[in-house]
Amino acid sequence: GAVVSQHPSRVICKSGTSVKIECRSLDFQATTMFWYRQFPKQSLMLMATSNEGSKATYEQGVEKDKFLINHASLTLSTLTVTSAHPEDSSFYICSTKHWESSYNEQFFGPGTRLTVL
């Protein structure tokens, strides 16, 4: 399957700071990437769809000014959690679809665990 990486894998920050998470597709071009959030013992919740060269599409209830998404190249999308608060502590996962694939399965990055103190 496709290889997707995320950096950092784990981050601890103070309340009020901003944190940037990178998602890279390592072996293919990804015009579309997806950002999910997963709270403990809960399922993945889609936050936004990131499209290369255009604005991200946010799901209902997700604040676009708080969760800034940039997809400046075909291999990199970034999620910046601005002015993070303890309730933003979660597991953030990106995924992408191989652009050459005729199927829609999504390949997930390893995730980033964010802890806001």
Least distance in angstroms from the C-beta of 106 to other proteins: 7
Helices and strands counted in the chain (H then E):
0, 11
* Residues in 50-89 that interact with other proteins by CB under 8 A: none
| 3-state secondary structure (DSSP) of residue 56 | coil
| Parallel/antiparallel/unpaired status of strands 32-38 and 90-96 | antiparallel
Query: Is residue 32 close enough to count as binding other proteins by CB under 8 A?
Result: yes
Specify which residues 10 forms β-bridges with: 113
- Does position 43 interact with other proteins (CB under 8 A)? The reply is yes
Subset of 94-113 contacting other proteins (CB under 8 A):
97, 103-111
Question: Residue numbers of the site for other proteins (CB under 8 A)?
Answer: 1, 32, 34, 36, 42-46, 49, 93, 97, 103-111
